Amino acid sequence: MNPVSAAPLEVLRARTSEKWTEHPPDVLPMFVAEMDYPLAEPIRTALHAAVDRGDTGYVSSSNPVFGAFRGFASRRWAWDLEDASFLSTADVSMGIVEILRAVTKPGDRVVITEPVYAPFFDLVTEAGASVLAIPLAESTQTGTTQRRLDFDALESAFRDGARAFLLCNPHNPLGLVHTREDLEAVARLAAAYSVTVVSDEIHAPLTQPGSTFTPYLSVSDDARATGFAVHSASKAWNIAGLKCAVIVGQGEQSAEVMAALPIEVSWRTGQFGVLAGVAAYSEGEAWLDGVLASIAANIDLLDQLLAEHLPGVTWTRPNAGYLAWLDFRALGWGDDPADVILREARVALSAGVDFGEHGAGYARLNLACSPDLLTDAVTRIAQISRQN
C-alpha cells in the first residue's frame, strides 16, 4: 500500500482549524487530533458535487451513512449489523452525552478508565452524572509498561452502584486495542450488575495492521443487551468539522432508548458530514490504508528518534490511532511537561494531566504528520533536555 504524504507546511499553515490557529507560527502544533494529510479524493469529490448542486440543506431521515457504515463494518471487522438500530448526531461526544443522559439519573456514577480522552470527564458531568475514574491496570514486561482494563476495580465500581461505563475502544491516548476476551469480560460484568456500557469507537478504523479491533457489541449477547457504540468517520478521514456520528445499538433495550431520544439529537447532524461519511465508508478504504502505512512509518521513526535524542522518554507503541503517549517523568519536568516543551521548544503537545491524575508527567504527541515535522519536533524537545 502506497503511503499518503502529508501536505506541505505552507498549505497546512493556511488551514484555519484549531491545530493551525491556536498557536503562533513559530510553534509546531502536535496536540489536537487533526491529521496533516490531504483530504481523501472521494470525500473531496463528494463535497464539491454537493456545493455544485446546492445540496446544503437538512439531513434526510433516510440517512445514507447508516448503510455505508454497515458495509464498512462488515468488510473491515466482520461485524454483522443487519439487525442494528442506528441514529446519527453531530459527533461522538454528543452521542455519548445523549445516551448517558438517557440511561442515568442526576448524580449517578459513570466509570471511566484513566488516563483517558480528556473530554470524557466533562461529557459525564454534562449528562448530569458524576465521574468515577479508576486507573488502567499496569504491568511491566521486558522494560515496557503494558496496560489493560482492571476488572477487579471495574467489578467493585459496578457492585457499589455505578450505573454506566464509558469505554474507550480503542483507548485514547494509549492506542490500546482491547482484546475480545477483555471485552467479553466487561460485558459479563455489565450484565451481572445492570450497567450500561457506552463504547466510544471513533479510533477503530485507525487500528494498525497486525492488530485486531473488536467492536464491543459484537462480542456477546450480554454486550448487545447492555451496550451502545458510537462511531464516526471524523477521526480516520480527518473530517471532524463536518459533524456526523453514528450511534449503534443491537439490543431491544438499546433500540428503545434510541427511539426515545429527542428528534433534535439527529437533526444536529451535518449534511456535509453525512455526505463525507458515505464517501469515506464506501470509497475511502484505499486512502485509509495509505494513511495507516504513513502512521506506521512514523511510529517506527518516533521510536528511533526517542532512542537517539530522548532516551529518558519512554512510551508504548500504539496499536491504533496516531497519538503517542510519552512518559517524561525521568526528565524531571514536573507534572506538566507539555507546558515546559511549549515554552522552551515551541512544540505544542497535549498535557497529560488533562487525561486524569495518572497523566501527570506525561504528554501526548500527534504523529499524523510528515517525517520532517516529527523529526523537527523531537530534536527541538531534545535541545531542552541537553540544556538542562
**Strand 85-89 to 314-315 pairing:** unpaired
Q: Which fold has domain 9-39+285-387?
A: Aspartate Aminotransferase, domain 1 (3.90.1150)
Dist. CA 130–CA 107, nearest whole Å: 5
Q: What is the mean pLDDT of residues 15-25?
A: 97
**According to the model, what pLDDT value does residue 135 have?**
97
**According to the model, what pLDDT value does residue 385 have?**
66
Cβ(226)–Cβ(190) below 8 Å: yes
Dist. CA 137–CA 147, nearest whole Å: 5
For residue 32, give the H/E element and its range: none
* Burial call 183-213: b when 16+ CB within 10 Å, e when fewer: bbbbbbbbbebebbbbbbbbbbbbbbeeeeb
Pick the closest to residue 330 from 314, 343, 318, 354 (CA basis). 314
Cβ(227)–Cβ(165) below 8 Å: no
Dist. CA 285–CA 72, nearest whole Å: 9
Per-domain boundaries in the chain: 9-39+285-387, 48-283
- pLDDT tier, 1 (very low <50, low <70, confident <90, very high otherwise): confident
Dist. CA 287–CA 234, nearest whole Å: 14
pLDDT in tens, 103-117: 999 999 999 999 999
**According to the model, what pLDDT value does residue 141 have?**
67
pLDDT(223) > 80 = yes
CATH of domain 48-283: 3.40.640.10
The three grid cell numbers given for residue 63, joined into one nine-digit string: 440517512
SS (HEC) of 173-211: CCCECCCHHHHHHHHHHHHHHCCEEEEECCCHHHECCCC
pLDDT(333) > 80 = yes
Q: Which phi and psi angles does 259 have, rounded to 5°? A: -65, -25
Dist. CA 154–CA 152, nearest whole Å: 5
**Strand 137-141 to 144-148 pairing:** antiparallel
Per-residue DSSP letter, 319: S
For residue 102, give the H/E element and its range: helix 92-103
The mean pLDDT of the chain is 96
Q: What is the mean pLDDT of residues 42-69?
A: 97
Give the Cα-Cα-Cα angle 363, 367, 370 (nearest 5 degrees). 140
pLDDT in tens, 131-169: 999 999 987 766 677 899 999 999 999 999 999 999 999
